[in-house]
């Protein structure tokens, strides 16, 4: 039996899965790590704490799996994407805390670059908007504010997103590489040439000397050395950023295939095929993956708040004590009673990009109860996805056929049914909701020969349930109209 280890390094913790070649879960480990907030709007991670979470979760998973010698075929990595890490080339010691994708300290730099007229050219080359969300301005900030630029330009330091740092550690310091999906989230990667862009590196002040080698998402990037519990020589054979990994883990292999991951926010990616599709609707263009014989691109849209809205009802308003209770509360009423919740607590992302937007509840009457607001909150999570997916259909020229879903909130049947109703398409929920980790396993297995093709992967992917549209279209259209009116006020 061949086994694949998937390391899913997320924003608040690390999950490690051990899967066999029939996708049976043999072991699972999880470890959280500390979030650091040195100033308002700043978010940092200690790279050593990240690595400690990986080794701890790995130890838990391997203890459950009880694998024999030679049973580990490959390791795959998926990661929080835009978080930037700097470490010493010799020895691998971090020289600064990692600056997390949520960090906004470089907002003023991004405003100046936009005011200088660089936004259109950056979008043309990188497919992204100039925003502190991405890696480039984070790296430049560390070099300039921590006195590290001279060392970087002399080749003493190296940069990477979290995947690259983990690969370096797993390989005993012998590999400094990343994959195309993570590279495409840095703002300094040319989407068409699949290479670091000298023009963008100059614009953002990032030295070429610190950059990792860019490799395909499936294929051997390094071999283990000195990792507790893992024999030396196991190939690290797959890497992808978390949302691209989820797209691959959902077997969204054909152009037009799309997935939505319902986590703190909602992240939607649509496979657009072998060429990048420039967005006219405020979406991001990104590399989905590169595997043997294929390069795939995607359109991406993010709603900043999804599961976080349920947490707000629980923690901020005290509607219930456990997030899982929202479904029973929401189904205790037949509809939302005309209430609309726009969960724009941290602004509106794609396709609006309105950081000044704020959350809104409309349609309240004396008859409104906690149940109506709970139901309207779930509906708001689904309705904001309609805006994103319609934008993707316009940009790609492809109608959505089926939306595959994953993440914690995908377990909510009421939310999934309403999502199907308002989109007018079927919703497919897999047996394993941890598809981010599953994508890393698939890519590593493909890179190491556990599976010899995407068809072989598709044959082991399993659906748990399918939701089909059931609502009357006239009522749905009225609901969408109320949503549009409320969004305009947010």
Range in 67-81, 429-443, 449-463 with the lowest mean pLDDT: 449-463
Specify the pLDDT at position 352. Answer: 73
**Pair of tokens at residue 268:** 């939607």
Structure confidence at residue 263 as a pLDDT band (50, 70, 90) = confident
For the chain, domain boundaries: 3-243
At the top level of CATH, which class does the domain 3-243 belong to?
A: alpha beta
Q: Quick: pLDDT tens for 216-240.
A: 999 999 999 999 889 999 999 999 9
Confidence of residue 453 (pLDDT cuts 50, 70, 90): confident
Cα dihedral 384, 389, 390, 392 sign: positive
Model confidence at 190: pLDDT above 90 = yes
**pLDDT band at 73, cuts 50/70/90?**
very high
Report how far residue 68's alpha carbon sits from residue 235's, in angstroms, rounded to the nearest whole number.
17
Mean pLDDT of 32-46: 88
321, 311 contact by CB (below 8 A): no
**Averaged pLDDT of the chain:** 91
User: pLDDT tens digit string along 387-437?
Assistant: 899 999 999 888 898 999 998 889 999 999 999 999 999 999 998 888 999
Residue 102's pLDDT is 81
């Amino acid at each position: 039996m061949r086994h694949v280890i998937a390391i899913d390094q997320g924003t608040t913790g690390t999950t490690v899965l051990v899967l066999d070649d029939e996708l049976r879960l043999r072991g699972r480990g999880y470890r959280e790590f500390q979030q650091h907030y040195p100033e308002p709007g700043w978010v940092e991670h200690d790279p050593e704490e990240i690595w400690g979470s990986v080794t701890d979760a790995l130890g838990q998973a391997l203890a459950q799996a009880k694998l024999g010698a030679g049973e580990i075929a490959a390791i795959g990595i998926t990661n929080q994407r835009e978080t930037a890490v700097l470490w010493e080339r010799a020895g691998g010691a971090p020289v600064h805390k990692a600056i997390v994708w949520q960090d906004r300290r470089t907002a003023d730099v991004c405003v100046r670059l936009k005011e200088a007229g660089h936004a259109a050219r950056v979008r043309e080359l990188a497919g992204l908007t100039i925003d502190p969300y991405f890696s480039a301005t984070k790296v430049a900030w560390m070099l300039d504010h921590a006195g590290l630029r001279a060392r970087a330009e002399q080749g003493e330091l190296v940069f990477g997103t979290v995947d690259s740092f983990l690969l370096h550690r797993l390989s005993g310091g012998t590999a400094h590489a990343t994959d195309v999906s993570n590279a495409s989230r840095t703002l300094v990667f040319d989407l068409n040439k699949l290479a670091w862009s000298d023009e963008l590196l100059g614009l953002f002040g990032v030295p070429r000397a610190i950059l990792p080698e860019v490799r395909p998402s499936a294929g051997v990037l390094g071999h283990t050395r000195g990792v507790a519990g893992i024999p030396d020589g196991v190939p690290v054979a797959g890497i992808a950023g978390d949302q691209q990994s989820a797209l691959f883990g959902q077997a969204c292999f054909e152009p037009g295939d799309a997935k939505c991951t319902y986590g703190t926010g909602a992240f939607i990616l649509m496979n657009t095929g072998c060429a990048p599709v420039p967005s006219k609707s405020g979406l991001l263009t990104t590399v989905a993956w590169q595997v043997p014989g294929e390069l795939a691109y995607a359109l991406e849209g993010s709603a900043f708040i999804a599961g976080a809205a349920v947490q707000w009802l629980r923690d901020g308003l005290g509607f219930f004590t456990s997030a899982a209770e929202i479904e029973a509360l929401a189904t205790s009423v037949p509809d939302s009673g005309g209430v609309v919740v726009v969960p724009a607590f941290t602004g509106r992302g794609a396709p609006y990009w309105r950081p000044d937007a704020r959350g809104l509840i409309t349609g309240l009457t004396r008859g409104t109860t906690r149940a109506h607001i709970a139901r309207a909150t779930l509906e708001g999570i689904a309705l904001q996805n309609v805006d994103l997916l319609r934008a993707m259909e316009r940009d790609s020229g492809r109608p959505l056929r089926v939306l595959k879903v994953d993440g914690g909130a995908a377990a909510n049947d009421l939310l999934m049914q309403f999502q199907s109703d308002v989109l007018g398409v079927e919703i497919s929920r897999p047996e394993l909701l941890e598809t981010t980790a599953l994508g890393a396993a698939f890519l590593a297995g493909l890179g190491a020969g556990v599976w010899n093709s995407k068809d072989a992967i598709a044959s082991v992917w399993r659906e748990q349930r399918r939701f089909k549209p059931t609502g009357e279209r006239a009522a749905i259209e009225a609901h969408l109209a109320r949503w549009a009116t409320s969004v305009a006020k947010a």
